[in-house]
Amino acid sequence: MNRFAGKVAFVTGGAGGIGRAVVERLVAEGARVAVTDIVGEAAREVAAAHGNQAVGFALDIADEAAVKAAVDGTIEAFGQLDVLVNNAALTDMATMMADTDAVTIPNDVWDRTMHVNATGYLFCCRHAIPHIAQAGGGAIVNLASGSGMLGDSARIAYGASKAAVISMTRYMATQHGAQKIRCNAIAPGPIVTPHSRKVAGREFDIIARHMPMGELGEPADIAALVAFLGSAESRYINGQVIVIDGGMSAHHAHVMDMMDYAAGQKG
């Protein structure tokens, strides 16, 4: 497939996990890609692997001046911008461990999480949208999360920030649709990446028991959906949140336990 021939994409958090899979998928489909990551060297390494089809930039999306510089650098390198993929998020171990509940979460953890995961997406959209409009329209794909749609025993800031991303997605779809800019969000369930495996550990094995398909998703699964939503094939999809979790959210949490119990009773 060559759905992105002549198109330019800007991907945040593009050096690893889901972001890297997105970069590889878009390049494979003909896009030229700006690979951005808070670890600049890693972003440049990923870009270098794709020759003149990619450029790499160091980018902390919480720094608006840096966002503008990276977008401007993309225009300088490729002359246009058609697709924005907001993927970067604050997921380091220290922050995740401190992201607890409303009573105990430190204020600085709440503020930093919201600033990166929500305001950072706003900054990227703010500086990308004029260029996408100038190109005649295009697509924004925001990586939200199932955590932004359901409650959990911890990670209140992460969940709230992803709920904000979902709301922003709908607002931007409404406010910029007339410019032929579509904005959609993807809400992944548990996805196995080197980083998430390190953070979750054995928890993933427990979660897999509750998946109707009996397995967790991989970055390539998300990348395939990003490519679809970023392409002209999804031209009439706008302002939507698409859950990609293998069916985890399709049933009550206890259902798989009850099925196991019933199977044991029959045995």
Residues with a known catalytic role: 158
The helix/strand/coil state of 68 is helix
Query: For the chain, how big is the Rg over CA atoms in Å?
Result: 19
Distance between CA 4 and CA 30 in Å, rounded? 5
Residue 11: name the closest of 31, 27, 35, 28 by CA: 35
Backbone angles phi, psi at 244, to 5 degrees: -130, 90
Q: Which residue has the tokens 């991303």?
A: 165
The DSSP secondary-structure symbol of 233 reads G
Instruction: Work out the angle at residue 57's Cα, subtended by the Cα atoms of residues 46 and 172, and round it to the nearest 5 degrees.
Output: 105
